[in-house]
Amino acid sequence: MFKASILIALMAFAATGVQADKKIVCYFGSWSVYRPGLGNFQVSDIDPRLCTHMTYTFTGITTNGDVNILDPWADLPNGGGKDGFGKFTALRHLSPGTKAMVAIGGWNEGSLKYSQVASDPATRARFVQNVVKFLKKYDFDGFDVDWEYPNQRGGHPYDKKNFVALLKDLREEFDKYGYILGVAVAAAEGSASQSYIISEVSKHADLINLMAYDFNGSWNKSTGINAPLYASASESPGLLKLNIDAAVRYWLSEGAPPEKLILGVPSYGRSFTLANANDNGIGALATGPGIAGPYTREQGSLGYNEICANLREGGWTVVRESDQRVPYAFKGNQWVGYDDVTSVLEKAKYINSMGLGGAMMWSVETDDFRGTCGSKYPLLNALNSVLRGNVVVPDPDPNPSEPTGSTGSTGSTESTRSTSTSTEPAPPSDFVCVQEGYVRNPHDCSTFHYCQKLDDKYLVSTFHCPTGLAFDPSIIACNYKDEVSGC
């Protein structure tokens, strides 16, 4: 049962390493309002309590320096529109400390227009004034520049200096009004070194949102994980820098202040179609992108809400890569590398260990925001539990009598290999619930149960700790056996 295993993981990690000043930046992809079925996401689905900063994406730019509203019907109230901007900023009433920002750019906007505006001082100055007017008009707290990427995709070498000039001009004007300035930047050294003078960018931005994902994807000819934390010992020398740790250390070495670095965590995975279903490890030959999911409808990418639903249906094998510290899953010729609660918890601990400013999620609408697989926003809650010591209590399951499946993981970062199933194993015949909560199996220390009272009966869900661990009632989590009383 996903919900109970997630909550156990959160409780186990929440007690360690919490730093209340950490930031959690929640990006919202506004096009998700058009998604079908359970993937349909409205502004009202955002839980601002889980974010220190929320960022609405995207606006665009024109070559004469205007801020271009890309989807007026979704963003504005005019003519019966959905008033996305207004509803988004109104979320601050539910969480007064949360800042509401808006982003310009993104992959689909390209690079050329930004290069043109930034290269001309007069147009650049006009753009800065237009940004300030925009923020005032729509009541945003700040602005996020997501130029993908200076000196790439049709840009020019002088973009690197002009990007700094643009940020400097924005900074000077923003300081008059107290606006926040964020940037979303390429993470890996190979791309970042082409686009940024990092020490200069760092002087002007409040938030440096490191897009630490898309290290691998279906543009490769073989499978690879979307956002590995560390390199794998089996990787070729050319791939050793395509991971979070290498990217973070590069940015720090180039002068980025750690407290400004906000580590990006993806709520989606990158998927592939295997050339041979029996060759299904990392580096296996792929023929192209994986099949599109029912909500995101994009080949080669699956939201976490789509991935967890697939795992619930059964038949998938889940493998946790011991070096890279992230899972992948395969079924037939379909393969996906992604992040789950366990890997997100470890990344949050990494943020604390490196003294980084916090985490950002791209993007909240592909977390399990409905709680279809268990608790709502499991990945975002995992970040909060470690970075802020805060877990927003989820609503009860909409249909608690229906079994939800189990992956057998309770948040340990030990390497495990397991196959998900669509039904939960039954408790032993002599097991009896006497009250709600977690209880260890009297015959097996590695097995535990969750008793949930429904009317006058109990629904019992059964879980297993990873190999070598035992359930410890004193911390309500799996622990090493020699540290668990009675085992």
pLDDT at 374: 86
- Which one has a higher pLDDT value, 467 or 396? 467
pLDDT over 50 at 54, yes or no: yes
Residue with tokens 């994902």: 213
pLDDT number for residue 388: 92
Terminal-to-terminal C-alpha distance of the chain: 24
Q: Which of 109, 148, 235, 346 is catalytic?
A: 148
Nearest alpha carbon to residue 70 among 122, 113, 41, 126: 113
Q: pLDDT tens for residues 122-147?
A: 999 999 999 999 999 999 999 999 99
Q: Which of 150-154, 234-238, 343-347 has the lowest mean pLDDT?
A: 234-238
pLDDT tens for 401-427 read 222 323 323 232 222 222 222 233 455
pLDDT bin (cut points 50, 70, 90) of residue 359 is very high
Please say whether the beta carbons of 303 and 293 come within 8 A: yes
- ω into 58 cis (within 30 of 0): yes
Longest dimension (CA), the chain: 79
Which residues, 6+ apart, have CB-to-CB distance to 47 below 8 Å? Answer: 376, 377, 380, 392
Task: Write out the two tokens for 257.
Answer: 């202040």
* Closest among 137, 154, 229 to 194, alpha carbons compared: 154
- Position of tokens 């967890």? 308
Reading the block at residue 404, the tokens are 């939800």
Confidence bin at 298 (pLDDT 50/70/90): very high
Average pLDDT over residues 91-119: 97
Higher pLDDT, 236 or 39: 39
Q: What is the mean pLDDT of residues 33-44?
A: 97
pLDDT at residue 473 greater than cutoff 90: no
pLDDT level of residue 64 (50, 70, 90 thresholds): very high
Omega within 30 of 0 (cis) for the link into 304: no
For residue 396, the one-letter residue type is: P
Q: Is the pTM of this model over 0.85?
A: no
Q: How far does CA 272 lie from the centroid of its chain?
A: 20
- Higher per-residue pLDDT: 48 or 405: 48
User: What is the structure's pLDDT at 370?
Assistant: 95
Rounded CA gap, 291 and 299, in Å?
5
Query: Looking at residues 279-299, what average pLDDT do you find?
Result: 97
Q: How confident is the model at residue 334 (pLDDT cuts 50, 70, 90)?
A: very high
Looking at residue 271, what is its pLDDT?
Answer: 98
Whole-angstrom distance, CA of residue 176 vs CA of residue 172 = 7
What would the mean pLDDT of 395-403 be, rounded to a whole number?
32
Q: Which domains does the chain have, with CATH numbers?
A: 2-266+339-387 (3.20.20.80), 417-483 (2.170.140)
The number of C-alpha atoms within 13 Å of 211 and in the hemisphere containing its C-beta is 20
Nearest CA among 133, 134, 132, 113 for reference residue 123: 113
pLDDT beyond 50 at 395: no
Query: What is the H or E stretch that residue 25 is in?
Result: strand 23-29
Banded model confidence at residue 435, pLDDT cuts 50, 70, 90: confident
Beta strand extents in 177-228 (DSSP E only): 180-186, 207-211
- State yes or no: pLDDT of 464 exceeds 80: no
Under the phi-then-psi rule, with left for phi > 0, alpha for psi from -120 to 50, and beta for the rest, what region is 447? beta
Residue 295 CA neighbour count, 13 Å, CB half: 24
Triad 231, 146, 346: Cα angle to 5°: 30
What's the confidence (pLDDT) of residue 454? 61
- CA distances in angstroms from 280 to 229, 287, 331, 332, 422, listed in the order given: 21, 13, 9, 9, 22
Q: How far apart are CA 372 and CA 62, in angstroms?
A: 40
- Rounded CA separation 68/72 (Å): 10
Among 132-136, 209-213, 256-260, 463-467, the range scoring the smallest mean pLDDT is 463-467
Mark whether 148 is an active-site residue. Answer: yes
pLDDT tops 70 at residue 36? yes
Q: With H, G, I as helix, E, B as strand and everything else as coil, classify residue 34.
A: helix
Give pLDDT tens digits for 172-224: 999 999 999 999 999 999 999 999 999 999 999 999 999 999 999 999 999 99
Place of tokens 């960018």: 201
